Structure 1
Amino acid sequence: MAISLPRIPDRSIHANGREYLYFGGTAYLGLQSYTPFKKLFLKNVERYGMHYGASRRSNVALDIYQQAEGHLAHWVGSEACLTMSSGYLAAQLVIQHLLHKGHTLFAAPNAHTAMLMNGVTRTHSFKELNLALEQQVSNKGPMPVLLFDTIDFTAKQYPHFEALQQLPLDKIMLVGDDSHGIGIVGDQGKGCYGLLQKLNPAQMLVCCSLGKGLGIQAGAVFGDEEIIETLKTTPFYGGASPALPAFMGTLIDAETLYVERLTTLMENYQWFLGSLDQSQYFQHMKGHPTFEFENASLAQELEDRGFIVTNFNYPDANGPLVSRIVLSAYHKKEDVQQLVHCLNTLLT
């Protein structure tokens, strides 16, 4: 049963009559309750209001959207960017457009549920995926498309993307979901766009939620200017309400905060990894502040000792159990010390 809370969790949770240290969720930079970040958001609410209830294709446009998208594109290193009100919608926009254009879409193993819509062919191994892509390439139709998570928590993608490099990248289009990467990994937290570019795929798009790393309730799509402009002409894009303009303003204003919080997160990460006796016990991607495990009893043992970690069936009740320790910038060094001491005791 889920723990019911009256507010967004921070480094600690009060439940069942006691306080727990919280090492779960996806608030990697710990921004949702961070006072300097909230002040920036409230300043932008005062400037832009709560909601802009119009199409982005309207004859009246707020310039903050173009400014924020230009800021994001420059930061990530893409020619262009568009934003939606969520990462889920950003992925759906891309997939529906490509299906409409007649592309055959394949989902890599462990692709996010946002990508697994009708019309997408799921694959269960990279061997199966490679065979399917080669066959589709030989059919001489529209370029096949591969949908995948840049951070898929199996260590088969980030940071080296070995599995992708075995595929016919020069003949396919990559669409990566970087929701768990942007703001966290890559050079200065720029995510995986630049890393994927170095693989030289025939074409590429990266979509993501901006909520996990950057604390912004919105989604984004990065790519070449031509395809981004084409996506903006679609009914899906035109019919969807945009993200809050105050979030777009905060995204720009928080640039310095993002750098500071990422530095804190990486300090917590290095201390945790360097002090953990049994790091091989966890499935871990170098540079990413998450540590997965398959021992169903460990999460309960941690809870009994005052720690709550991610531990639920995903994406639904019939899905696999996801057990994951998540480090955040809101953790204090003593929080990490307590967790490491507990893990070192339990895993001896």
Structure 2
Amino acid sequence: MNTDFKSINQPFSNTVVVNGKTYLYFGGTAYLGIPQNEAFIDLYLEGIKKFGLNNGTSRSNNIQLGIYDAAEQEAAKRFLAEDALITSSGYLAAQLTVKLLSPFGKVIYAPATHPALWLNAAPDTFTDSFSQWKHHTIEAINSSEERNYVLISNSMNNLFPEIYDFDFLEEINPDKNIVLIVDDSHGIGLNNNGLGAFSELPKLKNVETVVVASMAKALGVDAGLVLGSKEIIQQLKSSNIFVGASPPAAAALYAFMHAKDLYQTAWEQLQQNIDHFSDAINLTWKFEQGFPAYLINYPNLATDLLKHHILISSFPYPNADSKPINRIILSSWHQPEDIDQLISVLK
């Protein structure tokens, strides 16, 4: 098949139509189906009517829309943080955070950390295994004379699904001072019953935890988020990067603020879809409980499913000449009959 799937001219949903043919779609990062949630779209339109399309002034302007502070307070409350900061993108939130906080101490990157968190070039990590990395990091920090460290990591690996456990920080000597920066872009609104990673991170006197995230995945909003202590958030808000950047669309934040029940309903629907699919597959698939991505070591899966008009996430990794990794990704927008059809073809 030579169908071009790189010029699709419609919103993604549980199905896409290309050249008059309908395909079931099991890819992307719209885990809660928010881009096609009619109630959420109605809230967004209310926000547009109330605040207009965009706001091109920086957050340092002497005349401000109050919704930005209100949305940050709501985000902090919803994800159980002391304070929050919202930017126009997840990339900006990550760069703002790592550039401002990295001078605190020696920077150590976990494997497979997202490029949005890189200070410059790709960081060197001695292993691809998070488990090996954390044991090495404990030993390296405890045996060093240096006192201050900045650890930077994803909250999970969404490609080879694995949710990371940061309890290893309890094994670091308490006289070491740690700033932990965690990118929770694929977990916020989804993992930990929708709360994301922040409330799950260890609460230790010598560890300052900061979570950065794109809100464009499960939450369906083109914005970036930072969660942390009031002291850290105020420090970030005083930076030139934050002061000089335009904020996201106020309408999007209006929808986010008023969609708590919609997110919960969508999350519950996703869990039903996950249970439906997980019960039908065998143990050769790799996945994390409650996370809607499923990986199998079968390079031809995408090609075989395409013959049945089913599209999945498939691309070479880690290099352009590598074999493709094939993942099936569920969303709240999938109907039981969509999943039944997928299961039937897989069997």
Pairs within 5 Å for 1:166-245: 168=172, 170=174, 171=176, 172-187=178-193, 189-197=194-202, 202-245=207-250
Q: Which amino acid aligns with 2:68?
A: Y
* Paired residue secondary structure (1:183): coil
User: Percentage identity across aligned positions?
Assistant: 33
Distance 1:288 1:120, change over 3 A: same
Task: Return closer, same or farther for 1:11/1:227 CA change in 2, 3 Å cut-off.
Answer: same
The match for 2:304 is 301
Deviation track 1:301-325 (CA, whole Å, cap 9, x = no partner) reads: 1111111001123687467734211
Inter-partner Cα distance in structure 1 for 2:162 and 2:146: 29
Residue of structure 1 in register with 2:344 after alignment: 341
Alignment-derived partner of residue 22 in structure 1:
25
Change in Cα spacing, 1:341 to 1:169, as seen in structure 2 (3 Å) is farther
CA distance, structure 2, for counterparts of residue 28 and residue 283 of structure 1: 18
How far does residue 70 in structure 1 lie from its aligned partner after superposition? 0.5
Post-superposition shift, 1:229?
Answer: 0.5
Contact 1:29–1:329 under 8 Å retained in 2: yes
Greater fraction helix: 1
Report if aligned partners of 1:69, 1:80 keep a CA contact under 8 Å in 2: yes
Q: Tell me, yes or no, if the aligned pair for 1:184 and 1:191 is still in contact at 8 Å.
A: yes
Alignment pair present for 1:149 and 2:151: no
Distance 1:227-1:137 versus aligned 2 partners, 3 A rule: farther
Q: Contact between 1:178 and 1:191, CA under 8 Å: does it hold in 2?
A: yes
TM-score (norm 1): 0.89
- For 2:135 and 2:273, the matched residues in 1 are separated by 38
* 5+ long unaligned stretches in structure 1: none
Aligned to 2:60: 57
Report what 2:273 is aligned to.
268
Shift of 1:235: 0.5
State the Cα deviation string for residues 225-247 of structure 1 (Å, max 9, x = none): 10111000001111111111111
Secondary structure at the residue paired with 1:96? helix
- Structure 2: gaps spanning 5 or more residues: none
Residues 320 and 54 (structure 1), Cα distance of their counterparts in 2 relative to 1, 3 Å cut: farther
Look up the equivalent residue of 1:326 and give its one-letter code: I
What whole-Å deviation, never above 9, does each CA across 1:58-115 have from its counterpart, x for those lacking one? 212211011111001011111000001111111111111123x342222211211212
Partner deviation per Cα, 1:18-38 (whole Å, 9 max, x = no partner): 111000000001111222111
**Equivalent residue number for residue 289 of structure 1:** 292
Matched AA of 1:123: T
Distance (Å, rounded) in 2 between the aligned partners of 1:320 and 1:115: 26
- 2:44 maps to what in 1? 41
CA RMSD of the aligned region, Å? 2.4
Give the secondary-structure state (helix, strand or coil) at the position aligned to 1:213.
Answer: coil
How many residues in Structure 1 have an aligned counterpart in Structure 2?
Answer: 338
Normalising by the residue count of structure 2, what TM-score does the alignment of the two structures yield?
0.90
For 1:21, what is the secondary structure of its paired residue? strand
Equivalent residues of 1:106, 1:122 under 8 A apart: no
Pairing of 1:75-86 with structure 2 (within 5 A): 75-86=78-89
**Counterpart Cα distance in 2 of 1:66 and 1:206:** 18
